[in-house]
Amino acid sequence: MDIKKLQNKYLPLTEAAYYVLISLNKSRHGYGIMQHVEKLTNGRIKIGAGTMYGNLSRMEKEGLITSVAEEDRKKIYELSEKGKIVLKLELERLEELIDHGKNEMRN
C-alpha cells in the first residue's frame, strides 16, 4: 500500500472516525462502539446513530473495516489491515502535533 496515498486520502481523521477505528481493536457492532466511545471518553463524546452508521458504511466500503459476523441482526466489525495502517499513521500524526506543541511551550 502506498503510505502517501493513504495519508492524503484519510488524514486527518475526524474525531468520530478516530474513535470508531480505535474501538475496533476488538470486534464490535455499531451500538457497542457507541457505548465504548462514551465510556472511553468519560461521556465527552457521544457518537449519534447517523454519524456512527455513516462512518461504518463509508469505512467498510473503503476497506478500512470489515464485517466479520452478524448477531441478532447486528453487524460485527473489525479493523482491516488497511484500517490498521491508517490508524497507525493517524497516531503518528497526533504524536507529532503533541511533540511540537510541547516543544513550543518550552520556548
Tens of pLDDT, residue by residue over 66-106, are 999 998 889 999 999 999 999 999 999 999 999 999 999 99
Tens of pLDDT, residue by residue over 14-42, are 999 999 999 999 999 999 999 999 999 99
- Residue 12, preceding peptide bond in cis (omega within 30° of 0): yes
Which pLDDT belongs to residue 71?
A: 85
The type of residue at 31 is: Y
